[in-house]
Amino acid sequence: MDETVVNDNRITVDPNDDIETRTKVGGLRAVEMQYRIIREFESGETAFLQSKTRLNTPGLGTMVPETFRSVAELSNQCLTLFEFELLQATEAVKNLRERDYYFRWLSVYMPLRFLSSKGAQQKLMNYMDDTGTDTNRICFELSPAVLVEGNSRHSMMIEQLRNRGFHFMIPEFGGANSPLMRLAYFPVDFVMMSQEINGYLNKGDRSLSAVGSVVDFIDGMGAVAIADGVSSAEQAELLYQAECKYGAGSLAGKYMAERYLRNKKKGGDDDE
């Protein structure tokens, strides 16, 4: 993958550069982003798009985030990766809007190292201006580790970037290792609940009430709850009863390349 220098003024990936030729490994993009639909339970319509990045490497093959994120974040390599992901995300926003595909935002993973870097806000605003991208179309997905490792600077930057129109989301919330009370320190817009929570949905009224309490807690923090790992209509119905309005998982749709995202055909489902 090309090294891209991060300076104090702007993200330096040129949006007019041919990323297809600059970042290819064995004919594939070195950084390859896919998206899955987050649906509104009541209408079944697309609400948001969550991204997932794969790295195609010459020596190790294809790597998934669970493999490369923790290593990349030990150095400035995560900043270079973030720039390529943001470039592909803004390209996707443009392409989807050109074909009138409805979505409120799509997510991009943001490393905590970038969030606390010098001039982060100005870099992002310069890049949004350069590419003509509406900040409301971008939701930065943070590592759930922010609840443990995050500090007041991260919280301040989240608030400042939200004031600029960006959204923020924390995933994997509410699991066994998730410190719920720490959510109070980070003013995010969306919280994706851990798939572990789905295991409580069909275990009786008390368990369903517990799920509802997690949703209420997220709502009380001024954020919107999103369920992850929703695999059946029964789960979707129970989550809706618990007042969770949005969900992702096999029921909503698998990860796919941006070019395969299409509006529903009349009488049919989204193209895959």
The closest alpha carbon to 10, from 137, 151, 187, 128, belongs to 128
**Bridge partners of 31?**
55
| Residue 177 confidence (pLDDT) | 82
| Residue 69 confidence (pLDDT) | 92
CA angle 63, 26, 6 (to 5 degrees): 65
* Averaged confidence pLDDT in the chain: 87
pLDDT at 22 over 50: no
Residues 208, 201: contact at Cβ < 8 Å? yes
Report pLDDT digits (tens) over 32-66.
999 999 999 999 999 999 999 998 877 777 888 98
| Residue 265 confidence (pLDDT) | 64
| Residue 217 confidence (pLDDT) | 97
- Whether the model clears a pTM of 0.85, i.e. scores above it, the answer is yes
Which position has the higher pLDDT, 64 or 254? Answer: 254
Q: How would you classify the pairing of strands 167-173 and 138-141? A: parallel
The per-residue DSSP string of the chain comes to -------SS-----TTS-HHHHTEETTEESEEEEEEEEEETTT--EEEEEEEEEEEETTTEEE-HHHHHHHHTTSTHHHHHHHHHHHHHHHHHHHHHHTT---SEEEEE--HHHHTSTTHHHHHHHHHHHHT--GGGEEEEPPTTHHHH--HHHHHHHHHHHHTT-EEEEEEETSTT--GGGGGGS--SEEEEPGGGGGGTTS-HHHHHHHHHHHHHHHHTT-EEEE----SHHHHHHHHHTT--EE-STTT---EEGGG--PPPTTS----
pLDDT band at 30 (very low <50, low <70, confident <90, very high): confident
The closest alpha carbon to 186, from 212, 211, 222, belongs to 222
Mean pLDDT throughout 87-93?
A: 96
Mean pLDDT throughout 94-109?
A: 97
Residues 206, 115: Cα–Cα separation, whole Å: 39
| Residue 56 confidence (pLDDT) | 83
pLDDT at 73 over 70: yes
The closest alpha carbon to 85, from 4, 26, 156, 162, belongs to 4
| Residue 265: partners with Cβ closer than 8 Å, 6 or more residues away | 271
Report pLDDT digits (tens) over 197-213.
999 998 999 999 999 99
pLDDT at 21 over 80: no
pLDDT at 272 over 90: no
| Residue 41 confidence (pLDDT) | 97
58-67, 179-188, 199-208, 252-261: the lowest-pLDDT one: 58-67
Mean pLDDT throughout 155-160?
A: 97
Quote the percentage of the chain above a pLDDT of 70.
Answer: 87
pLDDT band at 29 (very low <50, low <70, confident <90, very high): confident
